[in-house]
Chains A and B, each alone.
Chain A
Amino acid sequence: MSFSIKKQTEVVVVDVEGQLIVGNRQELKQKVLDELEKGEKKFLIDFSQTGYIDSSGLGVLVSLSKKIREQGGELRLANLNDDLQTLFELTKLDTLFQISDTRERALESF
């Protein structure tokens, strides 16, 4: 499991490879907060290479969304597979986040 970060047309894109769970959520949080501190405002988390997300992983996404919005920025999500989509629907977090089918669509939406 790992996170890679790169900048794509003024958007910080984070790829989550493997699981987003209690054991690694702080690493994701810190990486995004570091970028936020540098002044970045637009964030996209891409889940195309993600296995599963647990409740603490979902909690980190909620937390990051709040912190980014407080700084006048925006967090969007892309590429949820059917399982992850189900997870977001069960928790109604699909109503809290702007979610795109593809990375390209998400980037265009900013």
Chain B
Amino acid sequence: MAESRVAFDLQIPSDVEYIEGVVELARQRCRELKISPAKCSLNIPVALSEALSNAILRGNEAAGGKQVRVRAIISDTDLVFEVVDEGPGFDVDECTVDCTTDENLTREEGRGLFLMRQLMDRVESFRDKGNVVRLTLYRE
């Protein structure tokens, strides 16, 4: 079984202003690990940004006293980001909307989960001391 290690583990307030800093930290770690440039500049920033934004705005409803925890776990085979909020959770399959259909193409919202699933190899949501969204990206 591949050995894994935690690349970072931090908590941020429920404020979208913190997203860019966390995403930049994730990009730096991924560049250090020689993850492919496209994954560092597109897949990871966009998918992680979406997960954080969902956690802050929907899970925690941007409530001042609530926190979002984000962990990056790295192994030889994959990168895993876990974003934990204090909300009730949601079903990834039920909530994902195909934003490419004619009726949805001109909608202003509803692309977040769709993008996460397009850009990551696996997206899961479950409860474990909060609502966890786990994003997995294979290194190869």
A contact residues vs B (CB 8 Å cutoff): 1, 19, 21-23, 51-56, 58-60, 62-63, 66, 82-83, 86-87, 90-93, 95-96
Interface residues of B (CB under 8 A from A): 16-17, 19-20, 38, 41-42, 45-46, 49-50, 53, 57, 99-100, 105-112, 114-115, 118-119
A54 and B46 contact, Cβ closer than 8 Å, known pairs A23-B19, A59-B111, A91-B99:
yes
Chain B: CB-nearest residue to A59: B108
**Main DSSP-derived SS at the B contact region:** helix
Contact of B45 among A51, A56, A91, A92 (CB under 8 A): A51
Chain A interface mostly? helix
Other CB < 8 Å A-B pairs besides A19-B45, A22-B16, 11 of them? Answer: A22-B49, A52-B42, A55-B109, A59-B111, A62-B107, A83-B41, A86-B42, A87-B46, A90-B118, A96-B105, A96-B106
- Bound together, the chains give a CA A55 to CA B112 distance in angstroms of 5
Quote the shortest CB–CB distance from A86 to chain B (angstroms): 6
Contact of B115 among A23, A90, A96 (CB under 8 A): A90
The interface residues of chain A lying within 8 Å CB-to-CB of B42 are 52, 83, 86-87
Judge whether B108 and A62 touch: CB under 8 Å.
yes
In whole angstroms, how far apart are the Cα atoms of A62 and B99 in the complex?
Answer: 12
Query: A7–B68 Cα gap in the complex (Å)?
Result: 42
Quick one: given A23-B17, A23-B20, are A54 and B53 in contact (CB under 8 Å)? yes
Pick from B19, B100, B108, B118: contact of A22, CB under 8 Å:
B19
| Contact of A93 with B105 at beta-carbon distance under 8 Å, contacts A23-B17, A56-B53 already known | yes
Q: Are B111 and A91 in contact (CB under 8 A)?
A: yes
